[in-house]
Structure 1
Amino acid sequence: MKFKKFRPEGFFANVYHVAPIDDVYVYELLIDFKHYKNSFKGKVYVSLTEWFENAFNDQSIFTINSTTFVLKLIYDYEKASQDAFSMPKLIICHEESGSEYATFMLTQSTLNFLDGKVSDLMTDLDENVDLWSKYISPVIDVDFQCDVEAELKMLRAEGHVIYLPDSELKGYPQIRALMHKAGGTYQDGTFVFEGSAESVLTRLQEGKVVNDKKLYQIFESTDNVSSKVVKKLDLKPEDKWLEPSAGRAAIANKMRKISSHGVVCEIFDLNISSLKQQGYAPIEGDFMSVTREQIGMFNKIGANPPFCNNQDIKHVRKMYDEHLLDGGRLVAVMSQSWVTGKQKIQIEFREWLKAVGADIEMLDRGEFKDSGTDVATAIVTINKSSEVLEERLCA
């Protein structure tokens, strides 16, 4: 399948289906770049994700997403019009922050190096990336213009299981990617889910991409991080505490061992079920919609709020302003996006943290790798004192 949606004419990619490797369907991306005196060729092995074909819609940037990293092939067309020797760049950057890990100018020698080497480099950065080069499989030309929507209707669901039909699915690679994204695990012609398979299949058949983990930013606190949060809280048996985005109680369980006066909130149905099974009576719904009248105020708040789109900033401000008693303490795991971010909300948050005298511990990148994200994080500790805050604001 050849794509020619790039500017200028002369740059295109051939994409071939490669035989499955360890039950992973893979593509071989052949880069063929021609501009003036430049002629570059190279190839990268890419496993299927549901956005793969859509990635070619952008006419200047080709992006391959993995769990943590993005591979971008960028060419400066304006510069190229003035400089016949302008080179395209291959950039490996972080999916959420955009931080660049490696940049290659695509000379012929570089492409020779990248041929079979890019995947090794990416594997060093994250073992779960969607790139392969260690195995060479026969390349088979294939047309992927099949009706995935129609084939999804051939599947059936019962309980926690989605069953594949006996007939061959031409769109199986796409369907398999959708199932994995939705949290399914392949087992003997079926995909098994932790929650309701019927709900997943219904949403997929309606044309929705199901990724509840990403939607609800479900990245559980590790045991190490949870222990740090609880230690910083200095929780006492008489303290009343809150975990506003409890997940599966990674932090709450440690707090409950010290004080039984706790309240947990959770939005995701599977996590709510888990909390109930552990003996909690969670407040069900989005913490940002919960009122002080519903849950009250607390001496201690330990939290791991969602990170993306500055949600962690908004959550922490609400915890402090609406639910933390004067003289209380808040300890929250946050992303580091606000540390150097230029957005108004990030700048104001930095200034506010200084005003309240927050203590900040930067965590090593990779603290949440086992939970599915490599975002750099920090633990922010804030003691609430209206008197001290007023003095600092007036100073």
Structure 2
Amino acid sequence: MKRFVAALARGCLPGIVALLASSAMAAIAPQTIRDLAFGESDDKIKAIGALSAGGDPQALPLLQALLDGEVQTVGEEQVLLVQGEKATDLLTGKTVSPLPENRDDVVVNNRIRRGLGTAIAALKLSAPDRSARLAAAKELQNSADEDTLAAITTALAKESDAEIKELLSQTQASIQLASTDRATRIAAIRTLAESSNPSTKTLLLAVLEQKGGSYVEPDAEVRGEAEKSLRAVESKLATGDMIGRIFSGASLGSILLLAALGLAITYGLMGVINLAHGELIMVGAYATYVVQNLFRRYAPGAFDAYLICAVPMAFAAAGLVGMALERCVIRFLYGRPLETLLATWGISLILMQAVRTVFGAQNVQVENPSWMSGGFVAMTGIVLPWSRIVIIAFAALVLLLIWFLLTRT
């Protein structure tokens, strides 16, 4: 019975999809469908723009099908939405079966393809899923035009998410810079002043550009607002750049701090300059890699928690190798710094070759758990990865524990 139901579902699914798509497209004017199927490039672009400006979500299946190559024509009379072995005539809504042999693909050149992508993104702004709306808003940042302005304005009025709303506001303002209305251009420039996106600087510089000895923007007040907004944007970009540099320095410095702590403690307590210290860190890293693979193979459901086991194992593996190094070599060389340098250098070569023999010469990857993926958006264009934030916090914790160990015990 289950097999029968599954087979029935597989057989009916293309028809159901086609039925839903055709019913959604029934509200689209037949002339618009004809323009998309039979018209010249300009006619198609105009029809796509009209559907986008209308903001009707029912146009989305048609535009997506056109982009995916699922819309075909038969002569000058039929426009078919082809789904598998079945088709629906978009002009009449009737099912066409079997498929006609003399079908032709609708011509979709690069210009039309770009227009379709922009229109689809504009229509997706009304999607219930936040991630879909966010992706659409990001796509429109670089491809929006006057045809999508109405859809963007409508979506902006309905949008409640702060991040998406900011993206839409910036996109709307970038389009309105070309408005013939002076007040609209000034309002758009003031909106762009709130942006920290590097592309905004390019838009404002274009307003202040000179060609042939005269400004592109003839209105002095508009240029004055553009200069103010440009200074504000440059200030935000400089702040973002500084935040990024400080964070990158802190994250890299925290890793070097952990390495330097080991060297300092070894030299301070034992008087030994350990040239194999980097290889001991390598041993800990490969121990983490082994634990990761064990979790992936035997406990994939608990993979996000593998660091709880991997971190102690990394410390233990590096510590055991270090203890063996001290017991077998270092203890016989105390007070002889040159011999210690040579011995630890030789041991470092042995450890490197041992790892290459066991794991191969290619680099291996230690993956982040899902909770360490992504990052914190400090400002537009500045994302602080969670993985590096965790590294900084971990280094601070280790530093605190070492301080406590050295001063309180």
TM over 0.5: no
Higher CA-based Rg: 2
What is the TM-score normalised by the length of structure 1?
0.27
What is the TM-score normalised by the length of structure 2?
0.26
Relative to its length, the structure with more strand (as a share) is 1
Relative to its length, the structure with more helix (as a share) is 2
